[in-house]
């Protein structure tokens, strides 16, 4: 379903992704793990047509995201790591516009919106502007929106960041169900190793832009001789803490706060 070969992405002098290769089979739940700044999000951005690779080959459902971007976009859904809601619109309107973008027929759209907003306990607040929502509610809405249409591939970039255990559980149950009943291929990243251990069939660990290990959770534990995936992860990536440079979007958010928040 996904094939990546010798993929490289450089930003000026900095190499964010350094010659990585991996494959994700159809119907698989694949976890892409790594410390902050390892290159996970950059890789997802290249797979989802948001960034062009410096070199290497990419294939999503047999198609090239660079040359055939619109076809590729029809095949995946994504929950982003950072916010991507329109905070001036209501929860319902955010769902609705997503449904229109993804050509979900009207009747089905209404049903799905009601079901998903209900599932993530946002239905009662559907007509409120997103800007009044708490961080957790916004996150839940992002997830509900990402699940509105049924794609062939679902990218989840740290979807559970800042979520309570209840919502996390709800999310993974739903994702597993989608995977089993609809055969949706799932590509996820997370910092919670227990989640990856529980949900993923296969894992790749990336560090400093390079893939350092690949295999099932069991294989990774065996390979490192550790009992838990967390320990295996630390054994593979070391215990130094990484700093990520803040990007221009973060800086702009900062500015906006200073300017008294237009939204």
Residues binding other proteins (CB under 8 A): 45, 48-52, 70, 73-74, 76, 78, 80, 82-89, 93, 96-98, 100-103, 129, 248-249, 251-253, 255-256, 262-263
By CB atoms closer than 10 A (0-12, 13-18, 19+), residue 247 is exposed
Among 37, 33, 9, 73, smallest CA distance to 240 is for 37
As measured in angstroms, the least distance from the Cβ of 145 to other proteins is 8
Among 139, 149, 137, smallest CA distance to 178 is for 149
> Alpha-carbon distance 141 to 208, whole Å?
32
Q: Which residues pair with 230 in a beta bridge?
A: none
Tokens 């990218």 belong to residue: 155
**Residue closer to other proteins (CB basis): 89 or 212:** 89
**Residue closer to other proteins (CB basis): 102 or 115:** 102
As measured in angstroms, the least distance from the Cβ of 137 to other proteins is 16
As measured in angstroms, the least distance from the Cβ of 204 to other proteins is 22
Does residue 123 contact residue 144 with C-beta atoms inside 8 Å? no
**Residue closer to other proteins (CB basis): 72 or 196:** 72
**Residue closer to other proteins (CB basis): 113 or 211:** 113
CA distances 69 to 49, 146, 242, Å, are 6, 19, 33
**Residue closer to other proteins (CB basis): 106 or 198:** 106
As measured in angstroms, the least distance from the Cβ of 248 to other proteins is 5
Compute φ and ψ for 163, nearest 5 degrees: -100, 150
As measured in angstroms, the least distance from the Cβ of 234 to other proteins is 31
């Amino acid at each position: 379903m996904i094939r990546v070969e010798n993929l490289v992405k450089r930003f000026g002098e900095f190499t964010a992704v350094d010659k990585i290769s991996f494959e994700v089979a159809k119907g698989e739940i694949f976890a892409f793990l790594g410390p902050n700044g390892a290159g996970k999000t950059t890789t997802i951005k290249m797979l989802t047509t948001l960034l062009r690779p410096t070199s290497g080959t990419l294939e999503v459902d047999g198609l090239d995201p660079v040359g055939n971007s619109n076809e590729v976009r029809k095949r995946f859904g994504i929950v982003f790591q950072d916010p991507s809601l329109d905070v001036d619109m209501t929860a319902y309107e955010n769902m609705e516009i997503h449904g229109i973008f993804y050509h979900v027929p009207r009747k089905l759209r209404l049903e799905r919106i009601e079901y998903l907003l209900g599932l993530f306990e946002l239905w009662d607040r559907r007509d409120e502007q997103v800007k009044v929502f708490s961080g957790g509610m916004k996150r839940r809405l992002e997830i509900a929106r990402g699940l509105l249409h049924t794609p062939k591939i679902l990218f989840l970039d740290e979807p559970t960041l800042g979520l309570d255990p209840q919502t996390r559980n709800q999310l993974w149950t739903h994702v597993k169900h989608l995977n089993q009943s609809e055969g949706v291929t799932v590509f996820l990243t997370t910092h919670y190793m227990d989640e990856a251990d529980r949900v993923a069939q296969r894992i790749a660990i990336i560090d400093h832009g390079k893939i350092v290990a690949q295999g099932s959770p069991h294989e990774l534990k065996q390979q490192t001789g550790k009992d838990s995936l967390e320990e295996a992860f630390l054994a593979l990536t070391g215990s130094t803490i990484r700093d990520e440079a803040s990007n221009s979007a973060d800086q702009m958010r900062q500015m906006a706060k200073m300017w008294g928040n237009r939204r």
